[in-house]
Structure 1
Amino acid sequence: MLYNISRSKKHPKMADNRESQSDSCQDLPQVLVLEPPPILQHYPNYFSNKFQLLKAWDYSLPLNQFLATQAQSVRALLSPGRYPLNQDILRLIPSLQLIVTTSAGLNHIDLPECRRRGISIANAGNVFTEDSADLGVALLIDVLRKITAADGYVRQGLWAKKGDFPLGSKLGGKRVGIVGLGNIGMEVAKRLRAFGSKILYTSRKEKPHVSYAYYSNVYDLATESDALIICCGLTDETRNIINKPVMEALGKDGVIVNIGRGGIVNEKELIECLVEGKIGGAGLDVFEKEPNVPEELLTMENVVLSPHRAVHTPESLISMCEHVARNLEAFFSNKPLISLVLDL
């Protein structure tokens, strides 16, 4: 299946005007981009002297025709981590050797097809690690202390009308289970320790170098936790892993924070548990069908919502520009990639 990409309207002869580009631009290594990544939206000229970006949205052609006529010799592709790079798309780019994705997760890429084709993948590495951890802890504090709800209480004039706002809960002393103790999970743990929280975790493998209590499955982790922070990637194994039994094990005062991927949490069952009071609250930066958020979540005062912005700060985006450039420069110079994904 081929997906349509929305493009701004261009003159129908846009493709024919490529010759007007300067010779110096034509001499630069070519990189295919199917959709505008945030780094280009905020820093549109960062790569102009380094690479020739072949932008699909600059053409009036349907995507399959664009790839068939313009991208046959392209060796590198820059992906923001949203548009699905499935077999149907990849087969239309026969010379592709590298995908550089600005995401840490790889659920948008057909990994078996990349393995079969020998296509290398470079991801975000540690660029977004600290920003993601910051937001994860911020969402947990917000839900526990009811910060967003309290803000609305004041703005609506309810403080003067109804008196004191309900009590929140402190973070210190809470048992926080981390689902996925990778780079982001480790940064979350470091921050939570400073608040006096007890750290527990589950991961694909036990980490021999850490002292945190390890649980082999998320259900047992939830049973022993006051809150769960989801930091893992979305795979077949993690899809809907946070389900109703896990939420019930977490308990009526438990909090779920998701900075991983929306599909890791069963959204329907999360809403049911929130409505029925089987968990205490949630802080969500990611959703199953972004940018669409279930209406039920919009009215819940014990739910804090963020539009998938965990990694979007000016500092992290400029760092990502540098990171992408280094990976591409290494590739075109036949040098080792900066953040090669080894486990495909």
Structure 2
Amino acid sequence: MSRPEILMTGPYPDWDLVELEGRYIVHKLYEAEDSDALIDRHAESIRAIATRGELGASAALIERLPKLEVISVYGVGYDAVDLAACRARGIRVTNTPDVLTNDVADLGIAMMLCQSRGMIGAETWVKDGSWEAKGLYPLKRRVWGRKAGVLGLGRIGFEVAKRLRGFDMDIAYSDVADKPYGEGMAFIADPVALACHADFLFVTLAASAETRHIVSKDVIAALGSDGMLINISRASNIDEEALLEALENGTLGSAALDVFEGEPKLNPRFLKLDNVLVQPHHASGTVETRKAMGKLVRDNLAAHFAGAALLTPVI
């Protein structure tokens, strides 16, 4: 029996690629000199797409693959997959939740600490001789005992809140409804009101049409000149133009960002700001988590082709 053929839209770690190539015929879209020609050549035989969260699968790509049965996303976010096109064709979609939750939450907390205490600048202060020449590093702001807001109390938001408790913080959250597992935290439905409460606002929402730019100009203004915005979700959840303007004019104190519109080619205005900590979309970037993510991608594909229940279905 011939091996199923899959289309990979972007690279995976070598340990995943070896496993996939041992089980499937893998067509690497990201290596093709002519991606259209590769798709045309194999369109009638490709039964699955292995993609990444930020790459997804567009309606146009899905339409070109008449035998497509399943899309397995390497990542928790699936907003870049056209779910309407998948539903119309009965195409299954899976993602990799849970296995990356704790690492993403860890990076969010690390970014808060790093930015609030000025650790990047402090290291430069030591290495460039400023400590010896100029004396003590400028004072920064404390973290413990202050107020935090968590916008989206899903898996990642909940783990962020758990970690924040260790800093004796006053924690509030916003979601579509009050959560039974939100005990000890204030529920504030309105994101603007949540930002008014917070010194640190964590964005941990899944991205959707409904959440696009939910962190609006008004939310950013409410967070204020002493506030910090930390985004470990999706760039589309934030009005990036409003964010840049507020950071440039000082109406927002600072930001710590792991995601950007158009990444990895982010808006160069971010690179000119000293009140922004930028990270290369690597919140899940640990060896342990990436191996678990890859295994879950493979296990979902294997389940599908075996006619078994999918482990983590989106649809």
**TM range, smaller chain:** over 0.9
Residues of 1 paired with 2:307 and 2:212: CA distance? 36
Cα deviation for residue 43 of structure 1 reads: 4.5
1:102 Cα deviation from its structure 2 partner: 0.7
Cα distance between partner residues in 1 of 2:205 and 2:122: 30
The amino acid across from 2:5 in the alignment is Q
Q: Does 1:231 align with 2:204?
A: yes
| Residue in structure 2 matched with residue 5 of structure 1 by the alignment | none
Q: 2:96 aligns with which of 120, 124, 127?
A: 124
Aligned residues: 314
- Contact map agreement 1:176 1:228 (CA 8 A) in 2: yes
Q: What residue number does 1:315 align with?
A: 288
Shift of 1:35: 2.5
Secondary structure of 2:266's counterpart equals: coil
What amino acid maps onto 1:51 in structure 2?
Y
In the aligned structure 1, how far is the partner of 2:55 from the partner of 2:130? 44
Match of 1:79 among 40, 51, 62: 51
In 2, the alpha carbon distance for the partners of 1:258 and 1:89 equals: 29
- Where 1:321 maps in the other structure, the secondary structure is helix
Equivalence for 2:125 = 153
**One of 162, 165, 175 as aligned partner of 1:193:** 165
Q: Per the alignment, do residues 170 and 242 of structure 1 end up closer, same or farther by CA in structure 2, a change over 3 Å counting?
A: same
Report the AA paired with residue 203 of structure 1.
D
Amino acid at match of 1:35: G
- Tell me which amino acid in the other structure corresponds to 2:66: P
Report which stretch shifted further, 278-287 or 159-168.
Answer: 159-168
Task: Show the 5 A alignment for 1:1-344.
Answer: 27-37=2-12, 39-40=13-14, 43-57=16-30, 59-60=32-33, 62-211=34-183, 212-342=185-315
Following superposition, the deviation at residue 202 of structure 1 comes to 1.0
Q: Deviations over 1:92-151 (max 9, x none)?
A: 111111110012112211111111111111001112111110100000111111111211
Deviations 1:130-185 (A, max 9, x none): 11101000001111111112112222222222221122222211211111111111
* C-alpha contact 2:8 2:51 (8 A) present in aligned 1: yes
2:293 maps to amino acid? M
Cα pair distance change 1:58/1:250, threshold 3 Å: closer
* Structure 1 portions without partners, runs of 5+: 1-25
C-alpha displacement at 1:54, in angstroms?
A: 2.4
- Match for 2:68: what amino acid? L
Q: Deviations over 1:202-254 (max 9, x none)?
A: 12232123212112221111011111111112222222221221112112110
Q: Which amino acid aligns with 1:195?
A: F
Is the 8 Å Cα contact of residues 33 and 55 (structure 1) preserved in structure 2?
yes
Contact 2:16 2:295 in 1 (8 A): no
Contiguous gaps of at least 5 residues in structure 2 = none
AA at the equivalent of 1:223:
C
Higher Rg of the two aligned structures: 1
- Partner of 1:47, secondary structure, is helix
Look up the equivalent residue of 2:106 and give its one-letter code: D
Q: For residue 59 of structure 1, report the CA deviation from its aligned partner.
A: 4.7
Looking at structure 2, the residues matched to 57 and 223 of structure 1 have their Cα atoms a distance apart, in angstroms, of 44
The Cα of 1:56 is off from its aligned counterpart by: 2.7
Paired with 2:313 and 2:138, the residues of 1 have a C-alpha distance of 49
Instruction: Give me the whole-angstrom Cα distance separating, in 2, the residues matched to 1:314 and 1:77.
Output: 23
Q: What SS does the corresponding residue of 2:46 show, helix, strand or coil?
A: coil
Q: Which moved more, 1:252-261 or 1:293-302?
A: 293-302
Tell me the TM-score normalised to structure 2 length: 0.93
- 1:57-76 Cα deviation digits (max 9, x unpaired): 4555x333322321313222
**Partner amino acid for 1:269?**
A
